C-alpha cells in the first residue's frame, strides 16, 4: 500500500514540475517580447534581434506542446507575434516565408481561443506585422505582373489599412489589370473618399464608368478631379473629350473658354475650340483658334487639316453671297486651303482625306496634272 501511495505522490509531484516548467517557458517567451523592444530601441542589428526571437519562439513552441498551456490563447499570441516579426526582418526569404506561415496559423489559433480578448494587443500587433509582409508580397507580385495574386494580397492589406490612399490606389490598379472593374472602383473610391488628389485616380474611375456606359458618373468624376486639381491639363482634356463624346458641345465650349484664360499654351484646347466653332459654322472664329494652335506647333497636322476644311467651307459660303467681291473671296479661301492642306500633306503623306481634299481643290482650279498625280498616290495606299 505504501508503495502505491508513494507512486501516486511522485506522479502528482512530477506533473506539477512539468506544469511549472511549461509556465516558465511561457515566461521566457514573454521576456523575449520585452528584450526585442529593448533591442529595437537600442538599434541593435538584425542578428541580435533574430537571436532573441528564436529564443522566444522556441519557448512558445514548448508551451504549445503542453496539454494545459497549449490551450492558452497567450501561448499562441506570443508565438504569432514573435514569428510575425521574424517574417518581417529575416533577410532569408525562404525562412521569412516559413515564419510568415507559422505566424498566420498561430494568430488564427489565438483569435479562436481568446474569447475574452485578453491578448488583443499582441494579436493586433501580430496582425499588423502580417499585413506588412502581405503588402511586400503584393507589391512584389505586382512588379512581376502577377496581378491576380497582387490584388488578393493588397486588398486584404487595404481593408486592414483603409485610410492608406496609396495602398488603395495600388489595389485598384491591380484589380483593373485583371479586368475586375467593379472591385477596382471600390478601392479607387476608397482613395478618393480619403482625400486623394492624384489625377490618375479620377481618370481611371472615369474610364471605368465610361466602359460601363455610366457617362454621367464619368463626367462628375472628372469634375471632382478638376476641383481637386484646377486646370490640370490631362484631366481637363479628358473632361472636354468626354463632353464632346456625349454631344455636350455647349458645356465643352464653356470649359475650353474658361481654361484658355489661364492655360494659354495648350494647343489641343485651341484645336478643340476651333473644331466646336467650325461645327457651328463660325468659320472666322475657328480659323483664329486653329491659327493659335499652329503658333504653338506649326506642324500640328490636325489643326492644319481642319484649317484647310474651314477655308474650303468659307469658299463655298462666299459663292452663295451676292456681293461683288464673292469670286475674289472664293479664290482667296481656296488658295489658303491649298496652302494649309499641302503643309498637312507634307507632314502626313499617307492621309487619304488630305489627298482627296487636294484633288478637289485642283479639280476646281482645273489643274488636271496635279489631280492625276494625287490620284496616282491614292492608288498606292
CATH assignment at residue 340 = 1.20.58
Q: Which of residues 106, 128, 144 is at a domain's end? A: 144
Cell of 89: 526582418
Structural domain contains residue 129: yes
Tell me how far apart the alpha carbons of residues 163 and 160 are, in angstroms, rounded to a whole number: 9
Res. 308: pLDDT tops 70: yes
User: Is 270 part of a structural domain of the chain?
Assistant: no
Angle between helices 73-89 and 46-64 (to 10 degrees): 150
Residue 260 covered by a domain: no
Phi-psi region of 368 (alpha: psi -120 to 50; beta: other; left: phi over 0): alpha
Residues 374 and 228: their CA atoms lie apart, in Å, by 51
| pLDDT at res. 231 | 83
Q: What does pTM read for this prediction?
A: 0.80
The boundaries of the domain holding residue 50 are: 18-144
| Residue 21 pLDDT | 57
DSSP 135-167: HHHHHHHHHTT-HHHHHHHHHHHHHHSTT-HHH
| Assigned domain for 39 exists | yes
pLDDT value at 229 more than 50: yes
pLDDT digits (tens, 9 = 90+) for 321-352: 777 778 899 999 999 999 999 999 999 999 99
Q: Is 191 domain-assigned? A: no
Q: Is the pLDDT of residue 142 over 90?
A: yes
Domain boundary among 144, 159, 175: 144
Q: How much is the mean pLDDT over the chain?
A: 92
Q: For residue 350, is it within any domain?
A: yes
Would you say residue 326 lies in a domain?
Answer: yes
Q: Is the pLDDT of residue 268 over 60?
A: yes
Domain boundary among 121, 144, 167: 144
pLDDT higher than threshold 80 for residue 245 = yes
pLDDT on residue 75: 97
Count of domains forming the chain: 2
What's the pLDDT score for residue 140? 97
Specify the CATH number for the domain of residue 140: 1.25.40
Any domain includes 161: no
Over residues 164-186, the mean pLDDT reads 98
Amino acid at each position: 500500500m505504501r508503495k502505491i501511495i508513494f507512486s501516486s505522490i511522485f506522479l502528482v509531484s512530477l506533473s506539477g514540475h512539468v506544469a511549472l516548467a511549461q509556465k516558465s517557458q511561457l515566461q521566457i517567451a514573454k521576456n523575449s517580447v520585452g528584450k526585442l523592444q529593448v533591442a529595437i530601441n537600442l538599434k541593435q542589428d538584425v542578428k541580435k534581434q533574430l537571436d532573441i526571437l528564436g529564443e522566444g519562439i522556441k519557448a512558445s513552441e514548448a508551451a504549445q506542446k503542453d496539454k494545459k498551456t497549449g490551450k492558452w490563447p497567450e501561448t499562441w499570441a506570443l508565438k504569432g507575434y514573435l514569428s510575425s516579426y521574424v517574417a518581417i526582418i529575416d533577410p532569408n526569404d525562404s525562412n521569412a516565408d516559413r515564419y510568415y506561415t507559422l505566424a498566420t496559423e498561430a494568430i488564427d489559433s489565438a483569435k479562436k481561443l481568446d474569447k475574452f480578448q485578453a491578448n488583443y494587443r499582441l494579436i493586433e500587433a501580430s496582425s499588423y506585422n502580417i499585413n506588412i509582409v502581405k503588402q511586400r508580397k503584393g507589391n512584389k507580385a505586382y512588379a512581376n505582373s502577377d496581378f491576380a495574386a497582387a490584388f488578393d494580397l493588397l486588398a486584404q492589406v487595404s481593408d486592414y489599412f483603409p485610410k492608406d490612399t496609396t495602398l488603395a490606389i495600388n489595389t485598384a490598379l491591380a484589380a483593373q489589370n485583371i479586368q475586375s472593374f467593379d472591385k477596382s472602383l471600390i478601392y479607387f473610391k476608397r482613395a478618393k473618399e480619403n482625400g486623394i488628389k492624384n489625377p490618375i485616380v479620377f481618370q481611371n474611375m472615369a474610364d471605368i464608368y465610361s466602359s460601363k456606359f455610366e457617362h454621367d458618373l464619368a463626367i462628375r468624376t472628372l469634375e471632382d478631379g478638376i476641383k481637386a486639381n484646377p486646370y490640370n491639363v490631362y484631366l481637363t482634356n479628358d473632361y472636354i473629350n468626354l463632353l464632346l463624346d456625349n454631344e455636350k458641345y455647349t458645356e465643352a465650349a464653356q470649359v475650353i473658354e474658361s481654361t484658355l484664360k489661364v492655360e494659354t499654351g495648350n494647343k489641343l484646347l485651341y484645336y478643340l475650340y476651333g473644331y466646336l466653332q467650325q461645327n457651328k459654322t463660325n468659320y472666322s472664329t475657328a480659323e483664329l483658334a486653329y491659327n493659335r494652335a499652329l503658333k504653338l506647333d506649326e506642324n500640328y497636322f490636325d489643326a492644319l487639316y481642319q484649317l484647310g476644311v474651314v477655308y474650303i467651307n468659307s469658299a463655298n459660303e462666299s459663292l452663295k453671297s451676292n456681293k461683288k467681291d464673292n469670286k475674289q473671296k472664293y479664290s482667296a479661301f481656296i488658295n489658303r486651303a491649298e496652302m494649309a492642306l499641302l503643309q498637312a500633306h507634307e507632314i502626313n503623306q499617307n492621309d487619304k482625306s488630305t489627298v482627296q481634299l487636294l484633288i478637289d481643290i485642283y479639280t476646281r482650279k482645273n489643274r488636271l496634272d496635279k489631280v492625276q498625280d494625287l490620284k496616282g498616290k491614292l492608288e498606292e495606299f
